[in-house]
Amino acid sequence: MVSPNQSSRTRPLTLLSLGHACVDVYQGAVAALVPFFVSERAYSYAAASGVILAASLLSSVVQPLFGVLTDKRAMPWLLPVSTLVGGAGVALAGVSGSYTLTLVVVAVSGIGIAAYHPEAARVARDVSRGSHVAMGWFSLGGNLGFAAAPLLVWAVMATGGLRASPLLVVPALAGVALCVAALRGAEAPAPATAADRADGAAGRDDWASFLRLSGAVVCRSIVFVGLSAFISLYARQRTGGGEVSGTVALFVLYLGGAVGTVAGGKLAARHGRVPVVQWSYALTVLAVAGVVFVPGPLLHGCVALASAGLYVPFSLHITLGQDYLPNRVGTAGGVTLGLAVGIGGIAGPLIGAVADATSLQTALALLIAPPVLGRLLLCALKEPGTADAATARPESAADPTTRP
């Protein structure tokens, strides 16, 4: 039986997760639009990946700034406003044939997404009392949004090509309503939330561990951005399945992330966060190699494994970062969700340039190296607040009322 206190936390967290899905549709939508930019506007690989960079780079730089602001003062109004801005930018991406204007509007979308995530992560942490299992459910919403993006974009483009892109604003409108409802429901537990933050602030910031974690997140981001930008085009070439095969490959990449995020929280509750993150990076190395070299329809299976390796640690990155910097939770969220991810996105145009100069397979083969480096960075990582990961008590995370 669910107690009233648990119910008061579950409903706003559910609404936040659904709102997160509506926002992260627009992160996935930019990559899903790339094949249409290539086919309708004859963009080169480098030019197409430049659109993704425009969406991610400015977003990654400003997201920690929003994190610093939310550390100083709660700004829940950012959630609905930033959701609308993020959606409007992508909705305008196909309106003009101007490459410069396309870069500008997707950059504006990126700023909206940057403003959303640190404050949303703070609210979700407060509502869930810091549980990384609950944060996994919050992250699941975002990953479902990613997964839905290729199908949504394909459906919209089928109605009129890039000029139908204004229809993509619909999820943002739904997200605004969900954010408003979630914030109203989250007002009740505010006193306990403040106490939790005060308790967390008593810990010491572990910058050395946080920086190692952030370096690993950069490595993960390089792989994820590279696959997001080119897996659709690569699947078309590798399987001979045309547009459908490309859409399926991108959908599998994102949908596998939805499963991986929930699995990450469950595995961390049993084995601890740090070991699960370390295992995930090792799996990613093998899976990306399979994506590059395995021929035919089996490629989609390798994409699913790569997705699991990339997404199992996703929510764990967030809670580990917040626990390494308990006095700067917003900053930690801004870096792990924004800056580190965006820095990894810089590699996108470089991968595109290599693909233009050689082949797409050669360019994607470069993505095998980053998870190797990420795994090395994670070798010495310990559970926050402990000298030995064995003392972390991972089983306590299964209770969303218990701090990890």
pTM check: above 0.95: no
Listed ranges 27-36, 272-281, 296-305, 376-385; the one with the highest mean pLDDT: 272-281
Q: Is residue 279 part of a domain?
A: yes
Residue 337 lies in a domain: yes
The pLDDT-based confidence of 341 (bands split at 50, 70, 90) is low
* 364-375 pLDDT per residue, tens: 999 999 999 999
Cα angle for residues 397, 399, 404 (degrees, 5° grid): 30
* pLDDT confidence bin for 193, thresholds 50/70/90: very low
Residues 84-120: pLDDT tens digits? 999 999 999 988 888 999 999 999 998 998 889 888 8
Q: What is the CATH number of the domain that holds 264?
A: 1.20.1250.20
What mean pLDDT is predicted for residues 245-271?
83
Is residue 136's pLDDT more than 80? Answer: no
**Of 38 and 309, which is predicted with more confidence?**
309
Segment 318-340 shows an average pLDDT of: 81
Asked if the structure places residue 208 within a domain, the reply is yes
Residue 205 lies in a domain: yes
Q: Which domain holds residue 175?
A: 7-398
Find out whether 272 and 391 touch, Cβ atoms under 8 Å: no
Domain count, the chain: 1
Model pLDDT, residue 196: 46
Q: Is 2 within the bounds of a domain?
A: no
Q: Residue 187, exposed/middle/buried by CB under 10 A (0-12, 13-18, 19+)?
A: exposed
Q: Is residue 403 part of a domain?
A: no
pLDDT of 5: 52
